[in-house]
Amino acid sequence: MIFARLYRVLIDYKLIRKKKFIVNGKTVIFHSIYKNNLLKGISISGFESHENEVINLVKNYSWDLEYFYDIGSNVGHYSVIASIYQEQTNVVAVEPFELNAEYIMKLKDQNNLDFKLVQRAVDSISDEEKTFYFPVSKKSSKLPGTGTLINTFKGSGGVYDSLPFKTSKVQTISLDDLTKDCDGNMLIKIDCEGNELNILNSSLLLARNNVDFIVEMMINDNDKNELFSLMEENDYNGFLITNAGLVSESRPLTLPKPDRNNRTLWRNHFFTKKSISEIKKFSIEHYGYWI
């Protein structure tokens, strides 16, 4: 505990600027770790400490996988994981915020990582210019992980109502246009701070049988039941991704953290058309349990 606090202070004062990790035998160096809370966290607690349960799914995804889309990539953490652990997969990081996109590109180039970057905001319609909201409080990351097309910041009454914000303009792309040349098996991770329903509601991908999704749903998302119903109506089975296993859902199990009334303990959900028996086998093999 004392070491962690000291290490964080050294990062905050920029006395430690880089962190080297060994990821599946490959050396990966993250730069400017003081600019992002996720980078600070993994530098202190380990590369797989951030959403370990989701990392477990991505790196051990056992089915043939031709494409992995990391939508709302932040600083490219999942794109790094997928490109290293799923070596035969085409990995695409999708991040609209300019500073984050620049970070991902530098990270990719300096570490010779094989994935593509698309600097667009995924939304229901392509080629629109939209307002992108991002936090600017003293505690906010210089490379924010909570930027969004939907204003949830100060004055909005949203989850981040206490945080001041700034805006920038971004170009949009629909999910179908993003994946238009991809007929193969896909795993799509969507973390777009409340815009997930808009993204999926208009997508033809839901009709296919070879596309799986990891979707973030928070306890305070007003549309989480509508989003879950949309996936059910398109014959998807939903599973809450926990550190002990994949939990079969009949509704979104967005559970609160014990010490926070506006945060979610496990917030990522796996949607697939694979059989329950396949998912049970995967859960037992890679998590230890089937719940």
pLDDT tens-digit map of 168-226: 999 999 999 999 989 999 999 999 999 999 999 989 999 999 999 999 999 989 999 99
Name the band, by pLDDT with cuts 50, 70 and 90, for residue 159: confident
61 and 40 fall within a common domain: no
134 and 233 fall within a common domain: yes
208 and 282 fall within a common domain: yes
- Residue 167 is predicted with a pLDDT of 97
172 and 254 fall within a common domain: yes
Total domains present in the chain: 2
Distances (CA, A) of 212 to 188, 189, 280: 6, 9, 16
List, for residues 103-149, the tens digit of each pLDDT value. 999 999 999 999 999 999 999 999 999 999 999 988 889 999 999 99
75 and 43 fall within a common domain: no
pTM over 0.95: yes
List, for residues 62-83, the tens digit of each pLDDT value. 999 999 999 999 999 999 999 9
93 and 103 fall within a common domain: yes
41 and 106 fall within a common domain: no
Q: Hey, which bits of the chain come out as E strands?
A: 19-23, 26-30, 67-71, 90-94, 116-118, 121-123, 129-135, 165-174, 186-190, 211-216, 237-242, 245-249, 268-272
138 in helix, strand or coil? coil
Residue 45 sits in which domain range? 1-49
216 and 251 fall within a common domain: yes
